[in-house]
Amino acid sequence: MSHAATRYLEAKQTVDDRAYDRRVRDCLLDALGSSPTVLDIGCGTGTTLSWLLEWGVDAGTYHGVDADETVVAFARGVRPAACRYRGWPVTETERGATVGDLSVTFERDDAFTALAAADGLGCVIARSFADLVPVDDLLDAIEEALAPGGLAYLPITFDGGTIFQPDHPADEAVEHAYHGAIDAESGRDAHAGRHLIDAARDRDGDLLAVGGSDWVVRPRDGRYLADEAYFLECILGFVADALAETTVDGAADWLTTRRTQLAAGRLTYAAHGFDVLYQAPE
């Protein structure tokens, strides 16, 4: 992953902050206990650590793994400093930090390898991750790693529904091509959220909570919050990559129009997501 992608993950944070479902989060916190062992798979730049601390999870262990060395190096270097900036007592360690009574480590690792090596976890977090891998394999691996009654929290799971406004005549065809390109990638699913809900419901544990977590990015007075213009630039880049693989009538005009609208602070974007909380059988 490039530094540009690291910036994308950081820019995503304010969008995710608005999107995540508070009711599902509250169910997680009710069930989590005071000193949980947490594994965050596909942790990216470690922004979920900031969520946990803000939500009062300040004891136990947090282990974030990501396949990409660049984001892990970024997480190790930047996340402890960001926690200190927010007022937490932080002691840097070789692989992360101690924040309050929470031991934090970040490691380059494959999610499935880390899950296979783990045992008796209190919670596995997979945020914006379940659309990248087959959901049944993911739930199997997570459940193997959890303690009886352990929790799987999968927020901001993409579920299709990509919307750009104002209207453009090629919108429907572009959305179809974009989701089709995601589905064509091995293991990926543009409607992972709904399939995750089905797969969790079919298991022996409890589907404790489900909520919508749609991304909505809109300009105010021609400006975007924080680094969200960059976030939108990246989303348009993902769509452009998909359009390059196929033929869509009006695609070139669609892209030019969207980029012009973004530069002018007139583009609104929304994407549908789900937050899922599952509890392994006792």
Q: How many helices (H) and strands (E) does the chain have?
A: 10, 10
Q: Does 63 bind ligand SAM (CB under 6 A)?
A: no
What 3-state DSSP class applies to 226? coil
Site residues for ligand SAM, 224-263, by CB under 6 A, read none
Nearer to ligand SAM by Cβ, of 156 and 251: the residue is 156
Q: How far apart are the first and last CA of the chain?
A: 38
> Which residue number is nearest to ligand SAM in terms of Cβ?
44
Residue 77 token pair: 């270097």
How many residues form the binding site for ligand SAM (CB under 6 A)?
Answer: 19
Site residues for ligand SAM, 6-25, by CB under 6 A, read 9, 12
Give the residue from 27, 29, 62 showing the smallest Cα distance to 46. 62
Q: Does 42 bind ligand SAM (CB under 6 A)?
A: yes
Residue selected from 53, 71, 115, 248 as contacting ligand SAM according to rule CB under 6 A = 71
What residues contact 76, with CB distance under 8 A and at least 6 apart?
Answer: 95, 96, 106
x/- track of binding to ligand SAM for residues 153-182 (CB under 6 A)? ------------------------------
Site residues for ligand SAM, 80-139, by CB under 6 A, read 110-111, 127-129, 132
CB of residue 271 to ligand SAM, shortest distance in Å: 12
Residue selected from 47, 162, 213, 261 as contacting ligand SAM according to rule CB under 6 A = 47
Nearer to ligand SAM by Cβ, of 213 and 261: the residue is 213
CB of residue 79 to ligand SAM, shortest distance in Å: 12
Residue with tokens 């937050």: 275
Q: Does 213 bind ligand SAM (CB under 6 A)?
A: no
How far is 31 from 53, CA to CA, in rounded Å? 16
Nearer to ligand SAM by Cβ, of 210 and 235: the residue is 235
Distances (CA, A) of 139 to 20, 166, 275: 21, 38, 14
Provide the H-helix boundaries in the chain: 3-19, 22-32, 47-54, 69-85, 111-117, 135-145, 171-184, 192-201, 228-244, 251-263
Q: Does 193 bind ligand SAM (CB under 6 A)?
A: no
Residue 211 token pair: 């909520």
For ligand SAM, the binding residues (CB under 6 A) are 1, 9, 12, 41-44, 47, 65-68, 71, 110-111, 127-129, 132
